[in-house]
Structure 1
Amino acid sequence: MVRLSFLYPIRPERAALNFTGVRAALSFAGVPALLHWIRTAAAGRAALIPVLVLWLLTVGSPGQAEDRLVRLAVPQALVETGFLKHLLPRFSLKTQVRIELVTPGEAAEAAFSDVPKGTPVFQDVAALWHMQVLDGAHPGTARFVDWLGSDVGARTITAYAPDGVQMFTLPQITTEVEEEIVFEGDAMKGQDLSRSKCGRCHAVAEDMRMTDIGSTPSFFVLRALPDWDYRFQAFYALNPHPSFTQVADVTEPFPADRPSPIVPVAMTLDELEAILAYVSSLTPADLGAPLQHQ
């Protein structure tokens, strides 16, 4: 900014003429051209030109200009929709940040892509478009991201409707709902079976926490594991169970030369289903936060 002070009054029409020259000089060439204009004007109109005292308070730096230019890498397919001619000028009008389109692979601060990398910002019938921030420290890029996520940005995206047909919508992100596992067995019967068939090693109920083998996880701990249902459904195939477990119509008899080292655990598939129903009703143990590896 350049501040001008008059040390003595001049006629208004002359002041207007002089300020026009000042503005022109600053617009096209900055302060050096302004000083040249003053010297030239003073030589021709010494009696009419006031003495100007210039204070250079602030001068825009190249860095400030760069902050207001964002290079955006965009594939040709998106350019050809005409959507960016609708979107980008409205952003620039609002923020005074200019967007320059470049080809993917060229130097850029941000990129639009149909590859799932970055943040989904809009979609059409062909693709879900993502914005990837390549220079997170660039102020103009940050403003573009904020604007796209704002209500104004959302309305601008959805307002593009050439020939009355809306071409782009906000991203439709589907959240997978975890399906609840339901076992149809008798949970009460499953509790009794768990006590009689599994209780010799595992704590299967609250009143058995001090009667299990210390190195064997309780049913509450096993229930807290993400794959607990698989572990229970296939327990007879997971060590150490194969050496002493028999499930009717599923497992092979013990080899004659390798009998069970302990009293075998024998059950049917219906009994296993009842145990699964019981375990599914247990409150999982709190295992705390996952381990953080350094």
Structure 2
Amino acid sequence: MRNLFGLALALTLVLPLRAEEAREFGLSAAPEIVASGLLDYILPRFALKTARRVQLADSGADARLGPDDGTGQPVMARGGVTYAVTLDSGNPAAKVFADWLGSEIGQTAIRAFQPENGPPFESAAVEAAAPQVTITGNAELGRKVAEIHCARCHRVSADSRGIGIGSTPSFPAMKALPDWAERFGRFYALNPHPAFLRVDGLSPPFDPMLPPPIVPVTLSLDEVEAVQAYAAGLTAADLGGEIVNR
């Protein structure tokens, strides 16, 4: 009985730790990629998009980003060299990173980076077949977060919950847009949200010279994922015609 109690206690202590570790992974990158500044550009965007953190390592990492040797997934090219991401462990956060790099959002981030020296990075040939990032999270928690915070400005459901200030679109209306997943995936980085909203552990502090214009909002990573999951379950609004994405 004592041994069973000890085992139960050990599982109680270890399992939450493993769940937390799944949000982080180690990454090693080719020297020329590091020197280009690409990682400084894309890794914060990846963290904000997926709530996963990257720890750079020289060896023993969960994933490698380097010249394509045929063992990994090609994700970009530069100067005639194709680069691939290779997974060397079962860390699920590393798999999320590989999927994000191959997704349309990741490829857009790679192409948008402008290095100070040398040519820009280009998309890999397999971009069209790249998997999309799966939206996860507690949808019920997301509904509650949306009703408390997002409903300040948006109508967050079809039953007209929320204020709906001026031209601020409703959640169902945004769900009808072709890029709704990207919009809800990085809402905290899109204006005007950075002026008053922070994601705990990811967002920089407010500029003392530019204080929030309204009562500031701080969300946890779980709450961010929950809002995304809630939006994913909404029925898109019927806008009565062909949607034009502006």
- Give the number of the structure with larger relative contact order, counting CA–CA contacts within 8 Å between residues 6 or more apart: 2
Same fold flag (TM > 0.5):
no
TM-score by length of structure 2 reads 0.43
> TM-score by structure 1 length?
0.36
